[in-house]
Structure 1
Amino acid sequence: MNWKQSMMMLGACVLASCSNHTSAQVEEGIPVLRYQGTANTVMPWELADDLGYMNGIKLEWIGDGTSGPESIQATMTGDVEFGGAFNGAILQLQYAGAGVTSVIHYYGSDEETYAGYYVLEDSPIKEADDLIGGNVGVNTLGAHHEFSTVEYARQNGLTKSQVDDIGRIIIPPASGEQALRSGQLEVTTLSGIIRDKALETGGLRPLFKDIDLFGPFNAGSIVFRDDYIEEQPEAVEVFVSGMARAIEWMKENEAEVVRERMRTIVETRGRNEQTDLIDYWKSSGIESPGGAIRQIDFERWEDWLVEEGRMSKGETQMDEVYTNRFNPYLNELEEGSE
């Protein structure tokens, strides 16, 4: 299922008001927050739980997810209590009337952790104009990787019709390098361990990085259903404050200290996983203090969505898309904005 099909299903869920919401899960008086994880990876809330920052709630892994839209859909239907996705996708859902609110960031891009867009070393593609008529490999349509491709073209003066002539091919991240080397793509998106291993092999050069477009930025956030926030505000506060502390813990400690903690978590939680990905962890990529949300974190995607006809300009109030009221680092965010 591609991103557009997922968004259609989410739209149907919005129209149906996701009527199968269940009441909050509680065990022995303690709220249980179910979630989808990511295989071979430690998410910030899982790290927070291991660090002892989630006292007062219980996290329950129900399986691994494959995409942001899937994660949000599970949240809206009540199969999990929270989910995470690219901020642009969340903004579009808000425009469609989804009853969810972003509460904290969980991933982003910085100098250590970013998405790079690579070509073969001898490729004639050297600037945005050269992408016209070519194909760029992205993990899904309508999300972070596609947006960065479009924004790179726009910032370099391409018109909408020229941008539309740049093919965006959905390809699993693990297959992107081979697709590029075999000539199926002119450009592919690489990040994390996949990027590092590809560059070790050689023969590639970067066309651009997503951080070239904005500098370090927050890219995706965690959402809760509005009715859950209203019913269980204390649980949401414990979750957000604990995760915020874990984000700062990652920033304050050496990368190897963080990696060692993550390895131990993966090795002891019994999900039949490998720790290879963790060896390449460098940073959370989360730019703001404690993952707190700035208005620009959503505003920067609006023009693209409007241009694509996926939402109308100005009809979504940004202050209704997210809240920082549960984040103990809000004051640091505001002080940094002065």
Structure 2
Amino acid sequence: MVNIAKCRSIYIVGLLVSIFTLAGCQQDASTTQANGEYETLTIRYQGNAGRVLFPELAEDLGYLDPIKLEWVNNTISGPQSIQTAATGDTDFGWAFNGAIVQLKANGAPITSVIGYYGSDEEEFYGYYVLEDSPIKEAKDFIGKTVGMNTLGGHAEFILKEYLKQNGLTDEEIEQVTMVVVPPVNTEQSLREKQIDVATLNGMSRDLAVENGGIRPIFQDYELFGSFTAGSLMMTERFIQENPNTVRKFVEGTAKAIEWARDTPREEVIARFEKIIEERDRQEDTEAIQYWKSAGVSEIGGHMKPDNFQLWIDWLVKNGELEEGEVKGEDLFNNEFNPYKDEVED
């Protein structure tokens, strides 16, 4: 069996070499005032096929003007997205907060600037099996294969926490095989029995459930209740060199989160459809029809230490971090969020 922990350690070392090598190679244009107010008028990023990120919604609503987003490519992996931002190939990344904790703990000069997704009663990560599957509880996962979008992300953390809470030992958890399956293929992989358990979230989950023939085992909302699970991050250097641009970006994204929260569902879906069709990336809009919730617990994506401390404690308990090595309050910056005064004393 492949030693996932060893592979991840090698990956992180390689990543950090890239980060510190390329940290000085970011765009010189970012240090030049543009339009007399913003340091740069272009922010590069990776997208997610078939989905609309809140910064993309903010741009379409006009909340980022005159700043424009520059799409580089798509990724299905939050850890890859923050790696790409940390090395300066993009200007912001998006990922599960546990992955951001790990990267920060290994010395990467990054800071989260706004929460962007989470779990609640309508938006959650669920772990599904076929209706006739023998898997009914945690111990039945032993020796089985679980498909998820990436390793080291939200889906892996939640799965391991569920198994631990339900009595499995570390040795037994090591017998559960986790494999990467692109979200667009996860449902099909389960139905074709290429995997035993499928990790499904958001619109892809609701579409799969509507298609029938599958049943849930557990969901992250059952373990933790409503919580903001991931955030958008930038390098400390980009923030320092582009404070006006970053402020506009965060303000616009925060307003877009609240727009999605306050706007009737049908209007939000119609807007997402328009965005996907107009950007012309050969994407399917079927899953968008199942959008239900912004999923971000705090107003405007405002962050708090608990958004990170949950995963810090988990990593310490799992032996991947030392006690006190990373603190939740050191991982984010609410300075640019227009809603900060509404929630802070």
The runs of 5 or more residues in structure 1 that have no matched partner are: none
- Give the match for residue 17 of structure 2: 12
Deviation at 1:263, TM superposition (A): 1.6
Which stretch of structure 1 is more off in the superposition, 127-136 or 306-315?
Answer: 306-315
- Give the match for residue 23 of structure 1: 28
Q: Does residue 334 of structure 2 align to residue 324 of structure 1?
A: yes
Quote the Cα distance in structure 1 between the aligned partners of 2:35 and 2:261. 35
Residue 126 of structure 2 aligns with an amino acid whose one-letter code is G
Quote the Cα distance in structure 2 between the aligned partners of 1:97 and 1:295. 19
Residue 256 of structure 1 aligns with an amino acid whose one-letter code is E
1:105-140 Cα offsets, whole Å, 9 max, x none, are 111122222111012223332221222222222221
Aligned 1:169-180 pairs, distance under 5 A: 169-180=179-190
Aligned 1:99-248 pairs, distance under 5 A: 99-248=109-258
1:188-220 Cα offsets, whole Å, 9 max, x none, are 112234322322332211100111110121111
Which stretch of structure 1 is more off in the superposition, 199-208 or 184-193?
Answer: 184-193
Deviation at 1:280, TM superposition (A): 2.0
Distance change in 2, residues 1:83/1:313 (3 Å): same
Deviation at 1:8, TM superposition (A): 4.2
- Contact map agreement 2:124 2:202 (CA 8 A) in 1: yes
Residue 219 of structure 1 aligns with an amino acid whose one-letter code is A
Which stretch of structure 1 is more off in the superposition, 202-211 or 170-179?
Answer: 170-179
- Contact map agreement 2:306 2:328 (CA 8 A) in 1: no
Deviation at 1:150, TM superposition (A): 0.5
Quote the Cα distance in structure 2 between the aligned partners of 1:268 and 1:178. 28
**TM-score computed with the length of structure 1 as normaliser:** 0.90
Deviation at 1:28, TM superposition (A): 4.6
Count residues in correspondence: 334
- Contact map agreement 1:109 1:286 (CA 8 A) in 2: yes
Identity within the alignment, %: 47
- Contact map agreement 1:109 1:219 (CA 8 A) in 2: yes
1:250-297 Cα offsets, whole Å, 9 max, x none, are 110111111111222222234343322322222221111101112111
SS at match of 2:28: coil
Quote the Cα distance in structure 1 between the aligned partners of 2:66 and 2:103. 30
Which stretch of structure 1 is more off in the superposition, 272-281 or 2-11?
Answer: 2-11
SS at match of 2:344: helix
1:82-121 Cα offsets, whole Å, 9 max, x none, are 1111111110111111111001011112222211101222
SS at match of 2:151: coil
Distance change in 2, residues 1:320/1:263 (3 Å): same
- Contact map agreement 1:108 1:114 (CA 8 A) in 2: yes
- Give the match for residue 83 of structure 2: 73
Distance change in 2, residues 1:8/1:138 (3 Å): farther
- Contact map agreement 2:77 2:149 (CA 8 A) in 1: no
Which stretch of structure 1 is more off in the superposition, 243-252 or 216-225?
Answer: 216-225
Distance change in 2, residues 1:124/1:181 (3 Å): same
- Give the match for residue 96 of structure 1: 106
Deviation at 1:245, TM superposition (A): 0.7
- Give the match for residue 255 of structure 1: 265
Alignment RMSD (CA, Å): 2.2
Residue 340 of structure 2 aligns with an amino acid whose one-letter code is L
The runs of 5 or more residues in structure 2 that have no matched partner are: none
| Moved beyond 6 Å, runs of 4+ | none
- Contact map agreement 1:138 1:189 (CA 8 A) in 2: yes
- Contact map agreement 1:24 1:232 (CA 8 A) in 2: no
Quote the Cα distance in structure 2 between the aligned partners of 1:176 and 1:104. 28
Q: Does residue 282 of structure 2 align to residue 269 of structure 1?
A: no
Deviation at 1:308, TM superposition (A): 4.2
Q: 1:85 aligns with which of 95, 98, 109?
A: 95
- Contact map agreement 1:6 1:69 (CA 8 A) in 2: no
1:293-317 Cα offsets, whole Å, 9 max, x none, are 1211111112332344432221113
Distance change in 2, residues 1:184/1:38 (3 Å): closer
Quote the Cα distance in structure 2 between the aligned partners of 1:52 and 1:161. 52
Which stretch of structure 1 is more off in the superposition, 247-256 or 300-309?
Answer: 300-309
